[in-house]
Amino acid sequence: MIRIFLTVLLLILVSCRSHSKKEVEQKFDVSLLRQNEKFRIAGEYDSLIDLNKRYYRQADIMNYADGKALCYINLAELNISLENFQKSQILFDNAKKILDRSQDNIHKARFYNVYGRFNIELRRIDKAFQYNNEAMSYIRKSGSSELKNDLLFSIYFRQAVYFIQKKNYEKALHYFHQAKKLDNTGLTDCAIGDYVYMHKNKDSAYKYVSVAYNKASARGKEDGIALYANTIMGEYYLTYKEYGRAEDALKKALKINEKTKRIYAYYGKYIYNDLRMLYERTGDKEKAYLYLKAYTDAYYKTNSSLLATINQDMEAFITGAQKDADQHQSKIRWIILLSLAGLSLLGVYAWRIIRALGRRKEVLKMEAEDLAIKMNDNKQEEIIELGKKNDPEFLNRFKEVYPEFIEQLLAINPGLESSELAFCAMLKLHFTSKEIAAYTLVQHRSVQQKKYRIRKKLNIPSETDIYLFFDTLK
């Protein structure tokens, strides 16, 4: 009887201890993730770093591996915003090693949601969908918790963004509205306003943009939400030619960006490009050039970061191959010691392996270079298609890919108009006179006259082939 009593008592104590440990871990999760999001939205870089370092140490003391994984994910998300993609990948790898052994669906949902965002930044749209769908699957399997709605909001929001990338606007709007039900900050209103104004629905766009802007103003904080709201408001005014209001909103966004840029580093280039367009349209060429240069610098910083990550992936393959070669060589040495008779055979075998690995290494290097070339080829194809459709975005996308070309034209003749720059861009892409006439719906004779005027404005000698002249410009 006493033994039965002691056994029951022991089970109760173990159960209470296990229950108590779980409660402590849940409080750890809620406190860490909500404070992390607060600092991230506020753009408080130092506070966010200190928070995760402190909680990582606490998780270590608690022997709480999943707690460490959450810290890794938080810091990986920070590095995405800073466009430090290599560091993000390392932190994600550390988190995944832990979560592969975890049974916590909430933690896995958090991981795959943020990892989906990482992949969209690397232009891997299908991967982003895959990982965000995994996040959706894990959050649905999880029980009720304080964090469930927080994570569900983020998953819905990211899903909408990915559907926009896929040009499936109906589903994007559906998921934005799902996210809006869980959001009172104005962030989703910003996103919906952004989506709607891109479709030129002025009244609906203004409704959502103004709601987001008013919510951000009422909060009275210069943070990531205010940054987004002011940027979208500025873009709305810019689209509908309210240039004074556009300048006020974009300058305010730029001021907030200066305060929060240690977390929202990627935002600056969008604001620079908006201001560049604003001053181009209002005729202030000096300011337009200033912001074009700022935009170009920020844009190439992003591309360099992307290419570094791609090259890192390739180097990982190469390193793995070299490791295999080292292992084979070690085995060969042992076999030689055991059997001199097989020396020549094993030597030939080792030589073939090393030569094959050397060829593999060269192939992987070429693949890395091909990936970089393909990125540029995709952009080139996109610009050509926009040119063929005579799309208003043609010149803007062309400037993103060939910023120095436009700068050189304006250096020769600062008075060139946008239509003339677009015409020069088509010549740079080797569109024939016949093609330009067809795409822009003008007569062939008008294209020839434009060529003549461009020659005069750019001082191109009559004996110089105009296509060759543009080929010499970067």
Q: How far apart are CA 322 and CA 228, in angstroms?
A: 46
Provide mean pLDDT across the span 349-369.
49
**Long-range residue pairs from 355-363, CB within 8 A, at least 24 positions apart, any chain:** 357/321, 357/322, 357/324, 357/325, 360/321, 361/318, 361/321, 361/322
Q: How confident is the model at residue 340 (pLDDT cuts 50, 70, 90)?
A: low
**Cα R_g (the chain), whole angstroms:** 29
Cα dist. 374→307, 325, 431 in Å?
11, 30, 21
- What residues contact 394, with CB distance under 8 A and at least 6 apart? 383, 386, 387, 422, 425
Q: How confident is the model at residue 339 (pLDDT cuts 50, 70, 90)?
A: low
The answer to which of 104-118, 190-204, 224-238 has the lowest mean pLDDT is 190-204
Q: Which residue has the higher pLDDT, 73 or 473?
A: 73
Q: Which residue has the higher pLDDT, 94 or 331?
A: 94
Q: How confident is the model at residue 113 (pLDDT cuts 50, 70, 90)?
A: very high
Contact 139, 106 (CB under 8 A): yes
The pLDDT of residue 444 is above 80: yes
The reported pLDDT for the residue numbered 326 is: 57
The reported pLDDT for the residue numbered 55 is: 92
The pLDDT of residue 151 is above 80: yes
The reported pLDDT for the residue numbered 15 is: 47
Q: How confident is the model at residue 284 (pLDDT cuts 50, 70, 90)?
A: confident
Q: How confident is the model at residue 112 (pLDDT cuts 50, 70, 90)?
A: very high
Provide mean pLDDT across the span 226-241.
82
Burial class (CB in 10 A: 0-12, 13-18, 19+), 470: buried
Question: How many CA atoms lie within 13 Å of 218's alpha carbon, on the beta-carbon side?
Answer: 9
The reported pLDDT for the residue numbered 67 is: 93
Provide mean pLDDT across the span 381-386.
85
The reported pLDDT for the residue numbered 176 is: 85
Contact 73, 111 (CB under 8 A): yes
Q: What is the pTM of this model?
A: 0.57
Q: How confident is the model at residue 135 (pLDDT cuts 50, 70, 90)?
A: very high
The reported pLDDT for the residue numbered 93 is: 93
The reported pLDDT for the residue numbered 320 is: 43
The reported pLDDT for the residue numbered 133 is: 93
User: What mean pLDDT, rounded, does the chain reach?
Assistant: 78
The reported pLDDT for the residue numbered 347 is: 55
Contact 111, 127 (CB under 8 A): no
Q: How confident is the model at residue 99 (pLDDT cuts 50, 70, 90)?
A: very high
DSSP string of 165-222, one letter each residue: HTT-HHHHHHHHHHHHTT--SSHHHHHHHHHHHHTT-HHHHHHHHHHHHHHHHHHT--
Q: How confident is the model at residue 276 (pLDDT cuts 50, 70, 90)?
A: confident
Torsion of CA 356, 361, 363, 367, to 10 degrees: 160
Q: Which residue has the higher pLDDT, 322 or 204?
A: 204
| Beta-carbon count within 10 A of 96 CB | 16
The reported pLDDT for the residue numbered 13 is: 43
The reported pLDDT for the residue numbered 299 is: 61
